[in-house]
Every structure is written in structure tokens, then in C-alpha cells.
Amino acid sequence: MKFIKTDIEGLIIIEPKVFGDSRGYFFESFNQRQFEEKIGPVNFVQDNESRSSYGVLRGLHFQRPPFNQAKLVRCIEGEVLDVAVDLRKDSPTFGKHVSVVLSDQNKRQFFVPRGFAHGFVVLSKSAIFSYKVDNWYAPEHDSGIAWNDEALAIDWNISAESVLLSAKDKELKPLAGIELPSEFTMADYLK
């Protein structure tokens, strides 16, 4: 596996080594030893999967402590634009984001540590999205940021008219309008 650092500390793109022939392909989608050597110890406790159609945008989500989560995300079928926004208050990249295309073709994964908001939009006709988390889902600690926050200036590679949101995501506020947990710091991002 190849671990690629991004412009924001902690966000890592992972490219697997794919072995293919006339029968199809094989690759390791996760290797605990390599992951810990390159990123550090993370104890994933749950795997999640969603299927969505073109234009569905899920995010930008995060959970508040003590249920904040790190995620390892990938697109099993189709193509998505995946986005992570730095919410660590003492980070030099606070409020900045990294976008990466994840697809069944490139087989890339994206590691999003604690202290980030995360979201994705489906760019293909449909997509199956899968991710590991290191903490349990806790709806009472669920939070998020508006996908179209002008201060974040995220290019979602899709027209605003094509975006499909859940009722919950339609209610999300811009980053400037929410209070972030004090635990969202550089020191806490891998805990």
C-alpha cells in the first residue's frame, strides 16, 4: 500500500497495490500492521456502507466528544468526491479542506482523523460508499457544517441544482455559526 500525505496534517490518501489478470483483480483493502506503521494506532469498531444516486451529498458531518470519530473511507462502486475539513482549533490549516476522488477504478481510500468534518457527493449514476469508524455512532452527539458554506469555498464538482440533501443536512449551519468542542485540537486528532 502507498500512503500519500496531503496538504493538511493527518489526512492521508491510501492507494492499494492491485494484482489483476484475465480473471479479475485482488488487493488488500486494509492491513492493520501497515496502517499503524504509517498512520498510527486506530481501533476501528464499526463498518458502514451506503448506496446513493447521482448528486446525493452526505455531509459535512462530525460527532462531538466523547463520540468523535476517525474514518477510513472508500468507494466500492461508482465515483464520489470526498471532502474533509480541518476543525482542529489550533491547527494552521483550520477551516481548510482536502478533496479527493474515490472510485471503484482508482480504489483509493481516505483516512480522516478525529477533529475533521467529512462529507462526499456522488459523481456517477450511483455509488456504494464504505467506511470504518473508530467510535460508535451516537445520534445525540451528531453535528455538521453546511456543505455550501461560502467561507470554506469547496468545489464539489457538481452544480448546486443537482445536489440532493437529507432533511437533516439542509438544516446545517456554516462553520462560523457553530461552537466547536474544545477537544478538537492537534494533540487530540489521533486519540
Catalytic residue among 97, 118, 131, 189: 131
Do the Cβ atoms of 144 and 171 come closer than 8 Å? no
Indicate the domain borders of the chain: 43-188
187 has pLDDT over 80: no
pTM of this structure: 0.94
What's the pLDDT tens digit per position in 59-100?
A: 999 999 999 999 999 999 999 999 999 999 999 999 999 999
Task: Write the Ramachandran bin of 109: left for phi over 0, alpha for psi from -120 to 50, otherwise beta.
Answer: beta
Closest CA to 74 of 96, 94, 44, 95: 44
Question: What percent of the chain is modeled with pLDDT above 70?
Answer: 98
Taking domain 43-188, whether its CATH number is 2.60.120.10 is answered by yes
Question: What percent of the chain is modeled with pLDDT above 90?
Answer: 90
Distances (CA, A) of 32 to 38, 40, 83, 155, 190: 10, 10, 24, 33, 15
Q: Is 131 a catalytic residue?
A: yes
What's the pLDDT tens digit per position in 14-42?
A: 999 999 999 999 999 999 999 999 999 99
Torsion sign over Cα 48, 107, 190, 41? positive
pLDDT at residue 191, rounded to an integer: 47
Alpha-carbon distance of 46 to 133, in angstroms, equals 6
Query: What does the DSSP assignment read for 72-135?
Result: EEEEEESEEEEEEEE--TT-TTTT-EEEEEEETTT--EEEE-TTEEEEEEE-SSEEEEEEEESS
Residue 46, SS3 per DSSP: strand
pLDDT at residue 186, rounded to an integer: 81
Catalytic residue among 61, 97, 118, 189: 61
Q: Is 54 a catalytic residue?
A: no
Looking at every residue in the chain, the average pLDDT score rounds to: 95
